Amino acid sequence: MDEQSLRERVWDELDEAGEARFPFPPTGRIPNFAGADVAADRLTDTTAWRAAGTVKANPDAPQLPVRRAALRAGKTVYMAVPRLRDERPFLELDPDAIDDYDAATTVSGIGEYGRQVGPDAMPAIDLVVSGSVAVDEAGARVGKGEGFSDLEWAVLRELALVDGSTPVATTVHELQVRAEAWTPDAHDVPLDLVVTPERTVETGAAGKPAGIDWSRLSAGDVAEMPVLERFEE
């Protein structure tokens, strides 16, 4: 199955089953889902979570409970500036510098409470949490189709802030865990942990991308994302 058809199927099934949650419709986005808070709680029971002092997260609604749980546990959270379009392309949420974790972790609050930082001001990332549209039990992931989650990983890898052993997790609804077969691209970052409200899957995935796939980027892309210029060959 091609990835776009799979996305459409997941979005439709979540909507038709009444399992999608605000924002509506789920189509075209990382879909929020019933039980996202339960999945986040389950993630906090994992070894990867307990060992992490720094978490790189996505800003989407279904991972809001994950971001809040991270701050409440004293973990520093990093998120990318939209489309990496700044010389300081990450936002830092420091639990010691924030007095309202609930507000700071919302989509609107991240920019207000987050401190914008460049890569040189960032520590190594202990855990990456990605939003997903579809996943399988072997760790393959389909996002919403723009490729920025994978590019953010590639940038962090080029900066030696993540490596092949850095765990990557997602929280999803059971309907997003698919049996259909699709072929991930070489730049797709596989998942080590797939967490739903009902279960935690340790995928055993390997082979995380080692850096930026320049063949997928144009000169215009590089010009719009200043952080890429330091790596360009």
The answer to whether residues 178 and 136 touch, using CB atoms and an 8 Å cutoff, is: yes
The answer to whether residues 233 and 215 touch, using CB atoms and an 8 Å cutoff, is: no
Q: Would the pTM of this model clear 0.85, i.e. be above it?
A: yes
Q: What is the mean pLDDT of residues 35-63?
A: 98
Per-residue b/e over 71-82, b at no fewer than 16 CB within 10 Å? beeebbbbbbbe
In a domain, 229, yes or no: no
> DSSP string of 94-150?
-GGG-S-HHHHTSHHHHHHHPEEE-GGG----SEEE---SEE-TTS-EE-SSS-HHH
Q: What is the mean pLDDT of residues 71-98?
A: 95
In a domain, 232, yes or no: no
Residue with token string 């309907």: 175
Neighbours of 186 (CB within 10 A): 10
In a domain, 124, yes or no: yes
- What confidence score (pLDDT) does residue 119 get? 87
In a domain, 230, yes or no: no
The torsion region of residue 134 among left (phi > 0), alpha (psi -120 to 50) and beta comes to: beta
Q: What's the gap between Cα 31 and its chain centre?
A: 13
In a domain, 79, yes or no: yes
pLDDT tier, 232 (very low <50, low <70, confident <90, very high otherwise): low
Residue 194 host element (H or E): strand 193-195
In a domain, 111, yes or no: yes
In a domain, 98, yes or no: yes
- Lowest mean pLDDT: which of 19-23, 94-98, 157-161, 224-228? 224-228
In order of 52, 148, 182, the CA distances from 73 in angstroms are 10, 27, 36
Look at 169 and 232; give whichever has higher pLDDT.
169
What strands lie across the sheet with 200-202, from one edge to the other?
115-117, 90-93, 76-80, 54-57, 127-129, 168-171, 193-195, 200-202
Domain count for the chain, please give it.
Answer: 1
- Statement: residue 184 has pLDDT above 90: no
At 192-204, the pLDDT tens digits run 999 999 999 999 9
- What confidence score (pLDDT) does residue 109 get? 95
Q: What is the mean pLDDT of residues 84-99?
A: 95
| Residue 52: closest CA among 131, 119, 125, 117 | 125
Range of the domain at 183: 3-223
Residue 67: give its domain's CATH number. Answer: 3.40.50.10420
At 108-164, the pLDDT tens digits run 999 999 999 998 899 999 999 999 999 999 999 999 988 889 999 999 999 999 999
CB under 8 Å to 115, separation ≥6 — which residues?
Answer: 91, 92, 93, 94, 97
| Residue 166: closest CA among 127, 121, 134 | 127
In a domain, 231, yes or no: no
- Lowest mean pLDDT: which of 43-47, 52-56, 119-123? 119-123
Neighbours of 232 (CB within 10 A): 10
Task: Report the alpha-carbon distance of residue 212 to residue 126 in Å, rounded.
Answer: 20
